Amino acid sequence: MKTSTFQVPQHVNEETKDYLKGSVERKQVIETYNSMYSEKIHIPLYIGNKEIFTDQRKNITPPHDHQKVVGTYSICEPVHVENAIKSALEIKNEWTNTPWEERASIFLKAAELIAGPYRSKINAATMIGQSKSIFQAEIDAACELVDFLKFNIIYMTEIYDEQPITVGNVSNKLEYRPLEGFVYAITPFNFTAIGGNLCASAALMGNVILWKPSDHQIYSAKVIMDVFNEAGLPKGVINMVTGDPEMVTNIALNNPNLSGIHFTGSTNVFKGLWSKVGANINMYKDYPRIVGETGGKDFIVSHPSSDSLVVSTAIIRGAFEYQGQKCSAASRVYLPKSKSSEIFKNLKTQISTIKMGSPIDFENFLTAVIHKKSYDNIVNYIDNVKKDNDAEILIGGNYDDSKGYFISPTVIVTTNPKYATMTEEIFGPVVTIYLYPDNEWKETLKLVDQTSDYALTGAFISEDKESVEYALKHLRYSAGNFYINDKPSGAVVGQQPFGGSRASGTNDKAGSKLNLLRWVSPRLIKENFNPPTDYPYPYMK
């Protein structure tokens, strides 16, 4: 019985800790990292109230030290996926009927656990398993995940508050029902927070989840499951399986109860999911909601009026943080010829100071890229530049995978605006620059818009107000997140809702009300307090 309404806590972004020398947080995370590095963890499947350790297992190896084994994870069989979906559906009724304020309390508790007692653990797991520097781990695994959880609770109440008007002797109510079946969350390696959010956002709205994290985010995914468990999330609401992505996906997508897909990852995988849903459309009880945030080919355009230091810093931070493995990473840059020598000089000076190595050495700005396949792919692009006539390496271009998958920050200059590294997503510490004649900056914007299939993020750097207005108008559909005088990456939940269109996804803006709306199916309830008792209308008399 409800006897009161509740207010949820207001939230203004989790504060990023600095990890300065001598600080408590630095000491804690180093200790946690070292102890996790010297132990071996064994990660189960989480299915209903069972933790299942399968015989078939794979090693977890840090990308910066690939011969080191820090643990193993379970490889699921088809029966596990079937059981995970069954467990989700078994608890569905109970979870759907759990009052929203109880669901909110669970996820608020989870947020506080991450902000407090689990902070160093989730950061260390992200540093070890995904090779993030402490700063990159902190802004992702700790702060962004806390922000997702807390802001989504506020957005949930705002959605529930949105009600139709009631006129006359009736009452109109909108009930925001969870989707009728289950939601399948498939998440990428590069953000711990995305892993947590893609399941938690739909679960918060009352849905039950089958979660398949990336093979390269499993260590921090396990910490997330521990947090949800300790926060009191009923077992079975989020079921985590790890294993062959195609097998898991085929089983999930062949289930008539599939009500939604919450995906973040590469464009081709997403297109494959969409095609399978299309082919199966007559099988489902619902039209499954398909939400996918995918790849990017994110740009920086420097206007002739721009400040060269602002441009160089935006390139370095935008292209190289987390080794360029952000969907929002700057990877194609358009510079006016008049500024190029100054900007090249700045880049050379600043990049020469960048250190690369293990994330446990806090002086390192860069660490390793995620895995061998990614390393080989990036190396292939670099080697091609060394052979091709229309591109050359300005800075970097070195690589070494003897210990970890290390690639030095690389700047390419091309004379061909459609060169492969200007158009294809590379997902590594590689950025390509194209120089344009200053008086052709307007034509260059056309080029920016038409060069890539993606439309995720972009930045326009300029001191000239009119040029900013022009760029906003002419690049309207070129990026879902558009930055003026800033780098194109680093969206903060609650401040810059994130997502792009065209080949970059369905643009449902993770970390906003728009995203949560995809996980509900509203029911309108009209009640008439004075129903008519015969059919003729007055005009008929």
Query: Which residues are catalytically annotated?
Result: 293, 327
Strand 457-461 with 298-302, pairing: parallel
Point out the residue whose Cβ comes nearest to ligand NAD.
265
Question: Does the footprint of ligand NAD cover residue 75 (CB under 6 A)?
Answer: no
Select the span of 5-13, 75-83, 290-298, 347-355 touching ligand NAD (CB under 6 A). 290-298
Helix extents (H) in 452-487: 465-474
- The residue from 129, 181, 505, 511 that contacts ligand NAD (CB under 6 A) is 505
Nearest approach in angstroms of CB 213 to ligand NAD is: 6
For 479-513, b/e burial (b = at least 16 CB within 10 A) is: bbbbbebbbbbbbbbbebbbbbebbbbbbbbbbbb
Strand ranges (E), 156-225: 170-178, 182-186, 208-212
Rounded Cα distance between 138 and 126, Å, is 9
- Per-residue contact string for residues 300-339; x = within reach of ligand NAD by CB under 6 A: ---------------------------x------------
**Which of helix, strand or coil describes residue 62?**
coil
Question: Does the footprint of ligand NAD cover residue 181 (CB under 6 A)?
Answer: no
Question: Does the footprint of ligand NAD cover residue 293 (CB under 6 A)?
Answer: yes
Rounded Cα distance between 103 and 473, Å, is 42
Rounded Cα distance between 189 and 25, Å, is 25
Q: Are 138 and 123 in contact (CB under 8 A)?
A: yes
CA distances from 421 to 137, 298, 393, 509 (A): 27, 11, 12, 27
Nearer to ligand NAD, 19 or 189 (CB): 189
Nearer to ligand NAD, 143 or 327 (CB): 327
Rounded Cα distance between 242 and 202, Å, is 20
Question: Does the footprint of ligand NAD cover residue 272 (CB under 6 A)?
Answer: yes
Question: Does the footprint of ligand NAD cover residue 44 (CB under 6 A)?
Answer: no
- The residue from 74, 87, 197, 249 that contacts ligand NAD (CB under 6 A) is 249
Rounded Cα distance between 379 and 377, Å, is 6
Q: Are 460 and 486 in contact (CB under 8 A)?
A: no
DSSP notation for 255-273 = -TTEEEEEEES-HHHHHHH
Select the span of 18-26, 245-253, 444-452, 471-479 touching ligand NAD (CB under 6 A). 245-253
Residue count of the chain: 541
* Torsion of Cα atoms, 237 then 242 then 247 then 249, to 10°: 40
Nearest approach in angstroms of CB 191 to ligand NAD is: 6
Q: Considering only residues 456 through 485, tell me which ones interact with ligand NAD, judged by CB under 6 A.
A: 456
Question: Does the footprint of ligand NAD cover residue 122 (CB under 6 A)?
Answer: no
Rounded Cα distance between 387 and 322, Å, is 27
Nearest approach in angstroms of CB 493 to ligand NAD is: 12
Reading the block at residue 442, the tokens are 């307007």
Question: Does the footprint of ligand NAD cover residue 144 (CB under 6 A)?
Answer: no
Please name which of 347, 353, 315 lies closest in space to residue 331, comparing C-alpha atoms: 315
Q: Considering only residues 401 through 440, tell me which ones interact with ligand NAD, judged by CB under 6 A.
A: 425, 427
Nearest approach in angstroms of CB 135 to ligand NAD is: 18
Neighbours of 416 (CB within 10 A): 15
- The residue from 189, 219, 228, 483 that contacts ligand NAD (CB under 6 A) is 189
Please name which of 406, 364, 369 lies closest in space to residue 398, comparing C-alpha atoms: 406
Nearest approach in angstroms of CB 413 to ligand NAD is: 24
What is the total count of residues that contact ligand NAD (CB under 6 A)? 30
CA distances from 123 to 253, 381, 442 (A): 33, 31, 44
Rounded Cα distance between 114 and 280, Å, is 39
Question: Does the footprint of ligand NAD cover residue 184 (CB under 6 A)?
Answer: no
Rounded Cα distance between 85 and 78, Å, is 11
Nearer to ligand NAD, 147 or 425 (CB): 425
- The residue from 190, 410, 414, 421 that contacts ligand NAD (CB under 6 A) is 190
- The residue from 236, 296, 324, 336 that contacts ligand NAD (CB under 6 A) is 296
Nearer to ligand NAD, 424 or 438 (CB): 424
- The residue from 269, 314, 369, 430 that contacts ligand NAD (CB under 6 A) is 269
**Which of helix, strand or coil describes residue 524?**
strand
Question: Does the footprint of ligand NAD cover residue 201 (CB under 6 A)?
Answer: no
Nearest approach in angstroms of CB 50 to ligand NAD is: 22
Question: Does the footprint of ligand NAD cover residue 518 (CB under 6 A)?
Answer: no
Whose tokens are 């998440």? That residue is 187
Q: Considering only residues 85 through 114, tell me which ones interact with ligand NAD, judged by CB under 6 A.
A: none
Question: Does the footprint of ligand NAD cover residue 158 (CB under 6 A)?
Answer: no
Q: Considering only residues 209 through 228, tell me which ones interact with ligand NAD, judged by CB under 6 A.
A: 212-215
Amino acid at 385: V
Q: Which residues would be at the binding site for ligand NAD (CB under 6 A)?
A: 186-191, 194, 212-215, 245-246, 249, 264-266, 269, 272, 293-296, 327, 425, 427, 456, 498, 504-505
